[in-house]
Amino acid sequence: MNKNHQDISSHTNLGKFFSNLSRKLKKNDLFHGKIHLGKHKASKTEFIGTLVHSGLDLVTEKDKQGHLHFTLKKIGKSGPLDEIKQAKKRIFKQERIGKAGKKINIYKLRTMYPMAHKAQDYLYRKVELGPYGKPKHDFRITPRGKFFRKYWIDELMQVFNILKGEMKLVGLRPLSEGFYKSLPTALQQERIKHLPGLMAAIYADRPQNLQERIKSELKYLSEHAKNPLITDIKYFFKIVWAILFRGQRGY
């Protein structure tokens, strides 16, 4: 399929459009189109995330007279439409590794535009990365999301995880399975002996890379093993200081 600059600005359901388009295309087929995101209810983040979810890749893009002109290439199969619907919910859950290796769902307020997780690879190709590999300017974050993140409002939903006995106030942050498996085996084994924490112990040390993070977590675990209560109290005040006076945010 090789249509020249089909205008898809009027398609209100991008998920259904890209899903249908993906089914019509053969692998490596190209599609040329344009969309006026300024007049469309979808953000650029949702546009990119949705097409990626549909098994398409953004090959070229160019802003021209208010329209984003683009070329897509079919690279894989389209994902379920229900996932796109779920991505629009303001409260969402993420699967993490908890105590004893049990998988838990942590709850958060959405601070990014819908389908932001699918636009991550695109983001990392386009923007400069800061300390610990995080983007310096993440266009996926909404204006309200920036406010929530600055004052930690988006993390407060995890109080429910504490009430459920899945987390505690101070400790090591619960990790995704992929990140957890990237850690040294010894640290993995030590991590799952404890409940994960809402307030991350690494905030006290501010590690700038993975090796520093590993060192910081092992330091906390070593101190916690000797005196759990005193260690958590000490780290609590260090973390509060880092958040209030150093503008500390999550890793």
Structure tokens at 101: 């290796």
Do 59 and 103 lie in one domain? The reply is no
Task: Answer whether residue 52 is part of any domain.
Answer: yes
- 3-class SS at 219? helix
**pLDDT for the residue 83:** 92
pLDDT tens digits, 153-197:
888 899 999 999 999 999 999 998 988 998 999 999 999 999 999
Rounded to whole angstroms, the Cα distance separating 251 from 173 reads 9
Task: Answer whether residue 19 is part of any domain.
Answer: yes
Cβ atoms of residues 155 and 149 within 8 Å? no
Q: Measured in whole angstroms, how far is the alpha carbon of residue 115 from the centre of its chain? A: 10
Task: Answer whether residue 98 is part of any domain.
Answer: yes
Do 105 and 187 lie in one domain? The reply is yes
| 3 contacts: CB under 8 Å, gap ≥ 6 | 31, 32, 33
Number of domains, the chain: 2
Do 148 and 79 lie in one domain? The reply is no
pLDDT tens digits, 188-228:
999 999 999 999 999 888 888 889 999 999 999 999 999 99
For residue 100, give its domain range.
91-111+143-245
User: CA geometry: angle at 21 spanning 78 and 60, to 5°?
Assistant: 90
Rounded to whole angstroms, the Cα distance separating 221 from 192 reads 11
Do 96 and 76 lie in one domain? The reply is no
Structure tokens at 221: 């675990």
Do 213 and 106 lie in one domain? The reply is yes
Do 226 and 164 lie in one domain? The reply is yes
Do 204 and 177 lie in one domain? The reply is yes
pLDDT tens digits, 124-134:
888 776 655 56
Do 79 and 179 lie in one domain? The reply is no
Task: Answer whether residue 128 is part of any domain.
Answer: no
Do 66 and 100 lie in one domain? The reply is no
Give the other-Cβ count within 10 Å of 2's Cβ.
Answer: 8
141 phi and psi angles, rounded to 5 deg: -85, 130
Residue 231 predicted with pLDDT over 80? yes
Do 166 and 218 lie in one domain? The reply is yes
